[in-house]
């Protein structure tokens, strides 16, 4: 049986001072809660989660991502306002919203189409660009989260400039996931 790699395709977001300040403020507001924060050095916006990937597929995926990158120019989007995803009524993912993310939608759709040809399941949910800040196991004080999110609901944090898409391997460790780049693909046109 082959050892699978856990992989995904993303764009990296270098956090601005405003975004870092927001993260620190949220961490203070949610002190004592079982929340797993994303390391600011690992902030990224996932375009497609591939999951189990055979090592023999890495080059093929890279070739497809290279073709995608040749179709798109550098672009930017706004990182603005907080939100959260719920699962069964319980907040599970704390994130920053993305405004002007049309280019992200187009790139994600192109990646989805191309990688479906390699056997990766096409995405059934609508692509919802967001920047995950934390994963929430459960909350002792939901009100604290709601107040923190409300405080930053419409706050502009930065403009993110994107010049490349990155193919990552995610290695799960007890202290959190470690991301290793399998390939970088510069946006060309």
pLDDT tens-place string over residues 45-84: 999 999 999 999 999 999 999 999 999 999 999 999 999 9
DSSP class of residue 88 equals: T
pLDDT tens-place string over residues 95-117: 999 999 999 999 999 999 999 99
> Would you tell me how many other CB atoms lie within 10 Å of the CB of residue 45?
22
Residues 123-128: what's their mean pLDDT? Answer: 90
HSE-CB for 127 with a 13 A CA cutoff = 22
Residue 11: pLDDT over 80: yes
What pLDDT, on the 0 to 100 scale, is given for residue 189?
Answer: 62
- More confident call, 131 vs 2: 131
What pLDDT, on the 0 to 100 scale, is given for residue 14?
Answer: 95
What pLDDT, on the 0 to 100 scale, is given for residue 2?
Answer: 59
In whole angstroms, give the CA distance from residue 40 to residue 23.
9
Task: State whether the Cα torsion 11-14-19-23 is positive or negative.
Answer: positive
Residue 1: pLDDT over 60: no
What pLDDT, on the 0 to 100 scale, is given for residue 172?
Answer: 84
Q: Which two tokens stand for residue 138?
A: 């459960």
Q: Is the pTM here over 0.75, yes or no?
A: yes
Q: Which two tokens stand for residue 142?
A: 């939901």
Which helix (H) or strand (E) covers residue 147, if one does? helix 142-151
Mention every residue, 6+ apart, whose C-beta is less than 8 A from residue 25: 148, 151, 152
Contact call for residues 2 and 158 (beta carbons, < 8 A):
no
Q: Which two tokens stand for residue 54?
A: 């055979």
Share of the chain above pLDDT 70, in %: 98
In whole angstroms, give the CA distance from residue 108 to residue 110.
5
In whole angstroms, give the CA distance from residue 88 to residue 86.
6
């Amino acid at each position: 049986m082959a050892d699978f790699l856990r992989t995904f395709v993303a764009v990296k977001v270098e956090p601005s001072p405003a975004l870092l300040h927001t993260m620190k403020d949220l961490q203070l507001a949610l002190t004592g809660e079982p929340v797993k924060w994303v390391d600011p050095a690992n902030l990224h916006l996932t375009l497609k989660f591939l999951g189990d990937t055979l090592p023999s597929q890495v080059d093929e995926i890279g070739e497809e991502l290279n073709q995608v990158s040749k179709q798109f120019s550098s672009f930017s989007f706004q990182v603005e306002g907080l939100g959260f995803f719920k699962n069964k009524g319980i907040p599970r993912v704390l994130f920053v919203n993305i405004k002007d993310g049309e280019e992200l939608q187009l790139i994600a759709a192109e990646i989805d189409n191309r990688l479906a040809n390699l056997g990766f399941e096409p995405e059934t949910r609508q692509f919802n660009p967001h920047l995950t800040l934390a994963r929430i196991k459960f909350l002792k004080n939901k009100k604290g989260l709601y107040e923190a999110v409300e405080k930053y609901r419409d706050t502009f944090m930065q403009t993110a400039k994107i010049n490349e898409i990155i193919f990552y391997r995610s290695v799960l460790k007890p202290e959190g996931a470690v991301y290793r780049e399998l390939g970088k693909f510069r946006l060309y046109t």
